[in-house]
Each structure stands twice: as structure tokens, then as C-alpha cells.
Amino acid sequence: MILNELAQGLKSVDEGVEWFKGLSEGEQRRALHALVLFCGQARAREEDAPESIARSGIRPTHTPAVMLTKWRFGMEALPVHELTKSFRLLVALFSITDTRRRALHCAGGCGHAWHNLPDPPRDAS
């Protein structure tokens, strides 16, 4: 659910990174694998790579960004110090592709539970 909230801007990337860093290494790798699958389901395109890199805030020379420009996934297999960068990058890619999919294929409404998430609660202050 949090991955969809991040893609739809219902949670900030910083909130997502904090959540991701709180996971065990194995859970982080599973979350990255899920993101790769979600990007595929949302019909990610190779031409989405440059915008994803720009949005992610990681440098184009970082390993996950280089992998994405070559349209190679498997970032969950990278060394542990690359996992958070991979997470930022894949969240950006998922956000781009999911936004496009919702605009093109779900514009009139859809039955996808992940496209019909409730708005986050607002502070009572």
C-alpha cells in the first residue's frame, strides 16, 4: 500500500525513504522487487528513465541510474549501500508510469483498489 501511496503523491518520498530504511535488508530487497513488478504492470517505458533519474535526486552516474538507462533491472541484487538509491529511483519511475496509466486507462474511474486509495488524514492542528 505504501508504494502506491508514494506513486500517487499521498506520501512524500522522504516518508517513503524513512519507511524503507526501517525495513530489514531482506525486506528492502523484496520491496525493490515489488517496485520493479509494479513498474512493469504500469507499463514503464525506456524513455521514462531520464525523468525518473531527475526526479529521484540520485546522480546519473550512480549504479541504479546507469542500470535504468540500459533498461536493466535487478536492483534488489545490488550491494546494500545502493538499496536506498534504488528505492528512490524506482519510486520515481513507478510514479511516472502509474500517473500515465491512470490518465490513459483509468481516467473515467476504475476498479483497481490501488488507484482508489483514501486521502491521508490531515493534522488536527
CA atoms of 105 and 24, how far apart (whole Å): 35
Q: End-to-end alpha-carbon separation of the chain, Å?
A: 26
79 secondary structure, DSSP code: -
Rounded Cα–Cα distance for residues 105 and 53 (Å): 25
Q: Find out whether 97 and 42 touch, Cβ atoms under 8 Å.
A: yes
Of 8-17, 24-33, 82-91, 115-124, which range is least confident? 115-124
Residue 122, pLDDT above cutoff 90: no
Q: Mean pLDDT throughout 60-81?
A: 95
- pLDDT, tens only, 99-114: 998 777 666 665 544 4
The confidence score (pLDDT) of residue 105 equals 63
Query: Cell 490513459 sits at which residue?
Result: 104
pTM (predicted TM-score): 0.83
| CB-CB contact of 56 with 91 (8 Å) | yes
Q: How confident is the model at residue 95 (pLDDT cuts 50, 70, 90)?
A: very high
- The pLDDT mean for the chain works out to 87
Residue listed under C-alpha cell 546519473: 60
